[in-house]
Structures are given as C-alpha cells and as structure tokens.
Amino acid sequence: MIQSIIQIGNSQGVIIPSNILKSMGLRAGTKISIDVDVDEKRITLSAPGADPISSITPEFRQWLTDFKKKNYKMLKELAKTP
C-alpha cells in the first residue's frame, strides 16, 4: 500500500486506513512503537510488545548498524550464496 506524507500543523504524518487499525485492534490514542532504519530507509510501526525488534537496545541497534556498514561487501556476497 502506498500512502502520501501529509502536513499536520507543524508536523507531518501518514494516514493509516481505518480497516488496518481495526484489524490490529488499534485506535486513536493507542501508543505505538516506531523503529527507524535510516540505512534501509525503513520505518516500522508496531503495537508495544507485538514486535520483538522493538526490544533491541539502542546500543545493540548501533552495533548492528556499524557491523552492516563495515561488512557490507561480505554480506552482499553471502546473500548471493545458495
């Protein structure tokens, strides 16, 4: 699904369709976890406790990012291996 980023006051946001919110048991005011992977240009939203990646500490996430940058070529080659 593709959504546009919209202006909301001084901020910006994305509309989450009501059928998706309903299917996940979420509603206005529900707190969610936001995980950002700048390298992969990925933002992940999840209900707290629903996504194990949200329990990764910032230190470990930084270690993973550094490891990925340092070993990018090797990881790309390994990904090609059947």
Across 4-16, average pLDDT: 94
- How far the first Cα of the chain sits from its last, in Å, is 31
Across 9-24, average pLDDT: 91
Q: Where are the domains of the chain?
A: 5-80
pLDDT per residue over 17-72, tens digit each?
999 888 888 888 888 888 888 888 888 887 766 655 556 778 888 898 899 999 99
Distance CA 19, CA 3 (A): 14
Which pair of structure tokens corresponds to residue 81? 């291996």
Dihedral sign (CA 48, 49, 50, 55): positive
Phi-psi region of 9 (alpha: psi -120 to 50; beta: other; left: phi over 0): left
What residue type is assigned to position 75 of the chain? Answer: L
